[in-house]
Amino acid sequence: MIIRSLFLRGLLFVALWWILAEGRHDGWLLGGIAVAAATWASLKLLPPARQSIRLAGLLAFLRFFLWNSLRGGMQVAGMALRGREALQPAIIELQVSLPPGSARILLVNALGLMPGSLGVDLDGANLRLHVLDACQPIVAETRALEVLITDLFEVTS
């Protein structure tokens, strides 16, 4: 468990260093130290939990997220050019079915980039959203995102 996290995170930081150094090889001594320090800090700050991320879930989440943030950006750009006439703002409240912790935080943050929705308050499982256009199917889209986030985190014991 810990060996696997150590290996995966180390590999990730090696890739990150390679990118930051733009593929040059003369900095690997410093890079090695940085990778070791980063891996140590990451294990210290975010110990390998019983929750891990599934690759298939990650791909499905990213596909949905990127597509919808593209839609969201285009939609709000169109509304901005039309002016406040295009807006029909409202506050909606809904119950989150995700467990507390990283899953909920990811949901609230991701919603800010989805079409028409912005997280305003998260009190326990009670989520309050500001929506730009009350006619949009925000609740259905939030539910779809919730399902994807549930599939993203795998609970292993």
CB of 146 to other proteins, least distance (A): 16
Separation CA 89–CA 131 (nearest Å)? 5
CA 110/CA 51 separation, integer angstroms: 19
Burial of 39-48, coded b for 16+ CB within 10 Å and e otherwise, reads: beebeeeeeb
Binding residues for other proteins, per CB under 8 A?
Answer: 16, 18-23, 69-70, 72-81, 83-84, 87-91, 108-110, 112-113, 115-116, 118-121, 128, 130, 132
* Cα(98)–Cα(70) distance, integer angstroms: 25
Our CB check for other proteins shows the closer of 3 and 19 to be: 19
Minimum CB separation of residue 17 from other proteins in Å reads 10
CB of 3 to other proteins, least distance (A): 27
Q: Nearer Cβ to other proteins, position 1 or 67?
A: 67
- For other proteins, the closer CB: 50 or 129: 129
- For residue 54, the SS3 value is coil
